[in-house]
Amino acid sequence: MVAFLTGGGPALQGAREYLGVLLWFSPVYIIFQSLIVLLRNDGGARRAMTALLLCSVLNIALDALFIFGFQWGMFGAGFATGIAQVSGLVVALLPRDNAKLLRQLRPRLFPPLRLMGKGLASFVMELSQGVVIFVFNAVLLRLVGELGVSSYAIIANLSLMFTSIFLGLAQGAQPLLSVAKGKADHQEFQDVLQFSKQVCLVLSLSTVLICLVIPQLLARVFISGDPEVLEMTIGGLRLYSLGFLFLGFNLIGTVALQSAAESVKAFLFAMVRGMMLLIVDLFILQHFFGTTGVWLAFPVTELMSYLWMRRNIRKEILS
């Protein structure tokens, strides 16, 4: 699996070292991310933000210390991430006086199983990232070999960075949308949704503008000594980034459906958009346009998903 994702070569050993230590902290990561969601919906948005900021800042600081100071390489990077996750979890677990939901948590079997359906859309969004990476790597390996895999690795990392901005917006709006829907306050629900869309528009245009104007600067953060990889990455990023014009709106739409208790529709939309449609578009476009089609698969999918959401799901969100 690791060999396939890295395309083999020098990156394989580093990936093994990184995952070898990081997987030991995976239970902490799962608990931490789950608790953050509960905190946001339990009036603890400030605590959730503090825990996430601490985790991020500590991760960066320890990365620098372990990799450059102690010369621990990728093992140090994985260890730094694990320690940061533990620290964030400790902050999230600190008691709060105004906690309501968290104080009532009890270990039960069937209620969590029933609630799993509510989170299927979020599950699909997380799962799709890994599935899409596998498929993109397979296609690029066949088309251009390790050169394409290296370029996609850079673009995928940049994409995750920009996607996190829109995820933050959607996750921040989710508790507000849920409360408004729970109170049956249609106007408040609309106000939160419209404001989220306005912010999303600004973020979308800014993200695409950055990727179109300074792609070389972004790519050089990851690589500078291989002109072939750099050239392919710059061209690919300019095409791939067009998808960010619609990504944020699709994420907000999914969260709005979840907040409106339309779990099935949210799940279907996330499944089609995140995996099925993207993979189909990838194979069709690469057949006709080669590597260019690979980079266009993401924006075409996001555009089609956006149009589909507006036509078939918009009434459900606004009802």
Domains of the chain, by residue range, sit at 1-105, 109-319
Provide the token pair at 51: 């825990």
- What pLDDT shows up at residue 246? 96
Kindly give, in sequence order, each residue whose CB lies less than 8 Å from that of residue 14, ignoring residues fewer than 6 positions away: 73, 74
34 band by pLDDT with thresholds 50, 70 and 90: confident
63 band by pLDDT with thresholds 50, 70 and 90: very high
96 band by pLDDT with thresholds 50, 70 and 90: confident
Query: Is residue 90 pLDDT above 90, yes or no?
Result: yes
Residue 153: C-alpha distances to residues 133, 229, 230 (Å): 9, 10, 12
Mean model confidence pLDDT for the chain: 87
Query: Is residue 100 pLDDT above 80, yes or no?
Result: no
Provide the token pair at 269: 């939309």
Over the stretch 221-246, which tens digit does the pLDDT of each residue have? Answer: 888 778 999 999 999 999 999 999 99
Task: Check if the beta carbon of residue 223 is closer than 8 Å to that of residue 229.
Answer: yes
Query: Is residue 315 pLDDT above 80, yes or no?
Result: no
Average pLDDT estimate for 292-315: 88
Provide the token pair at 264: 């099935």
7 band by pLDDT with thresholds 50, 70 and 90: low
Kindly give, in sequence order, each residue whose CB lies less than 8 Å from that of residue 156, ignoring residues fewer than 6 positions away: 133, 136
Query: Is residue 122 pLDDT above 80, yes or no?
Result: no
- pTM for the model stands at 0.79
Closest by CA position to 25, among listed 88, 72, 68, 70: 88
DSSP run (H or E) holding 91: helix 73-93
307 band by pLDDT with thresholds 50, 70 and 90: very high
Sequential DSSP letters for the chain: -HHHHHTSTTHHHHHHHHHHHHGGGHHHHHHHHHHHHHHHHTT-HHHHHHHHHHHHHHHHHHHIIIIIIS--HHHHHHHHHHHHHHHHHHHHHS--TT-STGGG----SHHHHHHGGGGHHHHHHHHHHHHHHHHHHHHHHHHHTHHHHHHHHHHHHHHHHHHHHHHHHHHHHHHHHHHHHHTT-HHHHHHHHHHHHHHHHHHHHHHHHHHHHSHHHHHHTT-SS-HHHHHHHHHHHHHHGGGHHHHHHHHHHHHHHHHTT-HHHHHHHHHIIIIIHHHHHHHHHHHHHTHHHHHHHHHHHHHHHHHHIIIIIHHHHH-
Query: Is residue 183 pLDDT above 80, yes or no?
Result: yes
Query: Is residue 9 pLDDT above 90, yes or no?
Result: no
